[in-house]
Amino acid sequence: MRLSKVSFRYRRREPFVIQDADARLDPGDVIELTGVNGAGKSTLLRLLAGLARPTTGTIADRPPIVGFAPDRFPAGQPFTVTAYLHHMSRVRGGARWEPWAERLNMGHLLGLPLGELSKGSAHKVGLTQALMAEPGLLILDEPFAGLDADTREELPSIATEIVGRGGIVIASDHQGGLRALPAVRHWSVVDGHLKESTTKPLLTDHPAVTSERPQATVAVTLPAAELQHFLARMRGEGYQAEETG
């Protein structure tokens, strides 16, 4: 997936919130997005999700199935959690939400009206809705805010599973909730500009790649069609893997 010179503003004559963003996202990428309040993180995530269109520039090759969990779940609706998830399942072609509800420990929430949910509980419903269709691109806006400890611990595993099958995960996160994952890319929005930091503090923390252990580099030859899947799998297991040409 590629962003080319993407700029966005909400209204004509207003300043651009995002300016000239260029980026490439590859299968298996996990991206942590940071920035001060109002920097434009949510706006960028909505552009990536296809919920907003760039004012100028293009976004190409978005994976066909996108899961998006917004930071504020629209809670003022007269549905129960079950009714909402049933509805979203139908929209998603009959995707199964029940295993996610179980995994995220939502049994006690299912009968509640959406409007009565706490912030963390609403986040779980938003997550279930985003995950049920097995997205190739999972976008999470402040996913750790308000979550209970069990679910916080579960999210990195879920992200690992998605990138392990060649998906992309991007999360705005001030809390470093994905830092335990290997090979996380770090993006930030500063003054409307998307920047990628080149430091990779997480990689060296991972058991598969530590600075204390001697490192080796191997060359692997494989059918070109399998390349992205192979790279994603290796990254998912914590190895530094890149295409050399």
Contacts with ligand ATP, residue ranges (CB under 6 A): 10, 17, 35, 37-43
Distance in Å, CB of 208 to ligand ATP, minimum: 33
Q: How far is the CB of 72 from ligand ATP (least distance, A)?
A: 9
Give which of 39, 116, 35, 18 is closest to 76, Cα–Cα. 116
CA distances for 197 relative to 11, 87, 126, angstroms: 30, 40, 29
How far apart are CB 89 and ligand ATP at their closest, in Å? 28
Per-residue three-class SS string for 39-85: CCHHHHHHHHHCCCCCCEEEEECCCCCEEEECCCCCCCCCCEHHHHH
Q: Token digits for 140?
A: 């999470």
Cβ proximity to ligand ATP, 190 vs 220, nearer residue: 190
* Helices and strands (H and E) in the chain: how many: 6, 9
> Distance (Å, rounded) from C-alpha 48 to C-alpha 45?
5
d(CA 179, CA 201): 9
CB of residue 189 to ligand ATP, shortest distance in Å: 6
Closest CB 43 distance from ligand ATP, rounded Å: 3
Q: Whose Cβ is closer to ligand ATP: residue 43's or residue 160's?
A: 43
Spatial CB neighbours of 227, under 8 Å, sequence gap ≥ 6: 243
User: Closer CB to ligand ATP, residue 174 or residue 206?
Assistant: 174
What is the CA 19 to chain-centroid distance, rounded? 21
Of 113 and 120, which CB lies nearer to ligand ATP in the complex structure?
Answer: 120
116 vs 191, beta carbon nearer ligand ATP: 191
Least distance (Å) between residue 40 CB and ligand ATP: 4
Q: Name the residue nearer to ligand ATP (CB basis): 15 or 223.
A: 15
